[in-house]
């Protein structure tokens, strides 16, 4: 059996548009872009965490330069917060004794205690080594922030490159589609139409076996789709295609162990052919639908056979 090994885009077109040959289709380019977007999001998250860590260590280091114990700092911060709360209550005209008391308690209990916990000694800290330890942690936080910032720049460049690749591959695929849309398939011979259908499947992104030869059991191409293998019969007719073609396609599907069958013609199908396509779940694509097939508006996957064959 002769094989027509296909890739989403011809190598020459791929190199022309993207300058590389590793990523060969829009789906693969989308995966690269999604991976780059995920890495960029992670890099942004790590940088935000590093910046918050730096602020935390900067505040703790600054408190040691005052030489004030953590509980005193908490008391001062709580007193300031209590004063601000009460001033706000007075300005808003809510200066009842109960609310003023609540403002004082909120300042001391909530803000003051939080400030105390923030500035209190952590593991490995003491009154003697507090300035040195906190200075080291602050510098380490600065280094981490700088590393994460560099990682973010790298992730941004990777995302930009992935986006360019996706755009270029999309343009390359559209170029191949446009080339196929210009083909006058009505002027083709039978073998030429088979090759044309193979090129259309190639543009869609399927891998195709070309079986069009003596003893092919009525099947010209076998396309590998995500939903299974599809037996394809290409009919280049001047008249309408009858139900014999559907019978051959269905029998060939069984013979080759495929999961679906398709008949593609440059012409039209008779009513009896369309009637038979329903029970056999054979996809019928006539000449008026070939453009939609090239533009990926029609699927060859067996899972969609029932809906497509009744169009």
Q: Are both 40 and 145 inside the same structural domain?
A: yes
**Highest mean pLDDT, choosing among 28-32, 118-122, 157-161:** 157-161
Q: Are both 64 and 192 inside the same structural domain?
A: no
2 found inside a domain:
no
Q: Are both 95 and 52 inside the same structural domain?
A: yes
Q: Which pLDDT score is estimated for 264?
A: 95
**pLDDT above 60 (res 202):** yes
Confidence category of residue 1, pLDDT binned at 50, 70, 90: very low
CA 288, CA 124: separation in Å to the nearest integer?
78
How many structural domains is the chain composed of? 2
pLDDT one-digit tens code per residue, 203-251: 888 888 888 665 567 899 999 888 889 999 999 998 999 999 999 999 9
Q: Are both 241 and 158 inside the same structural domain?
A: no
Long-range CB contacts for residues 142-150, cutoff 8 Å, separation at least 24: 142/54, 144/50, 144/53, 144/54, 145/47, 145/50, 145/51, 145/53, 145/54, 147/50, 148/43, 148/46, 148/47, 148/49, 148/50, 149/47, 149/50
Confidence category of residue 43, pLDDT binned at 50, 70, 90: very high
Q: Which pLDDT score is estimated for 62?
A: 77
Pick the last residue of a domain from 156, 181, 206: 181
Q: Report the phi/psi class of residue 54: left, alpha or beta, with left for phi > 0 and alpha for psi in -120 to 50.
A: alpha
Cα–Cα distance list, 197 to 74, 159, 188, 285, 295 (Å) = 78, 36, 11, 11, 13
Q: Are both 250 and 226 inside the same structural domain?
A: yes
**Highest mean pLDDT, choosing among 39-48, 132-141, 209-218:** 39-48
5 found inside a domain:
no
Q: What is the CATH number of the domain that holds 270?
A: 3.40.1350.10
Q: Are both 144 and 227 inside the same structural domain?
A: no
pLDDT one-digit tens code per residue, 49-97: 999 989 888 877 777 776 667 666 666 777 777 777 778 777 878 777 7
% of the chain residues with pLDDT over 70 = 80
Task: Provide the domain limits for residue 273.
Answer: 183-309
């Amino acid at each position: 059996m002769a094989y027509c090994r296909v890739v989403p885009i011809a190598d020459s077109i791929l190199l022309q548009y993207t300058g590389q040959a590793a990523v060969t289709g829009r789906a693969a380019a989308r995966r690269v872009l999604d991976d780059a977007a995920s890495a960029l999001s992670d890099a942004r998250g790590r940088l935000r965490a590093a910046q918050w860590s730096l602020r935390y260590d900067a505040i703790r280091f600054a408190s040691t330069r005052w030489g004030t114990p953590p509980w005193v700092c908490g008391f001062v911060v709580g007193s300031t917060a209590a004063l601000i709360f009460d001033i706000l209550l007075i300005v808003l005209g809510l200066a009842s004794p109960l609310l003023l008391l609540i403002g004082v308690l909120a300042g001391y209990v909530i803000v003051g205690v939080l400030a105390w916990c923030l500035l209190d000694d952590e593991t490995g800290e003491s009154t003697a080594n507090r300035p040195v330890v906190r200075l080291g942690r602050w510098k380490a936080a600065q280094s981490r922030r700088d590393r994460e910032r560099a990682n973010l720049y790298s992730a941004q460049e990777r995302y930009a490159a992935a986006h360019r690749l996706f755009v270029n591959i999309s343009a390359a695929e559209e170029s191949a589609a446009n080339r196929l849309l210009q083909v006058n398939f009505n002027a083709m011979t039978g073998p030429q139409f088979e090759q044309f259908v193979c090129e259309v499947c190639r543009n869609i992104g399927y891998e195709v076996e070309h079986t069009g030869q003596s003893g092919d059991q009525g099947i010209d191409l076998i396309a590998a789709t995500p939903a299974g293998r599809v037996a394809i019969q290409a009919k280049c007719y001047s008249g309408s295609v009858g139900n014999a073609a559907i019978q051959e396609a269905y029998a060939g599907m069984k013979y080759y162990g495929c999961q679906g069958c398709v008949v593609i013609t440059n012409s039209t199908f008779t009513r009896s052919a369309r009637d038979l396509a329903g029970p056999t779940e054979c996809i019928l694509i006539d000449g008026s639908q070939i453009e939609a097939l090239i533009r990926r508006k029609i699927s060859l996957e067996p899972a969609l056979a029932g809906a497509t064959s009744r169009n």
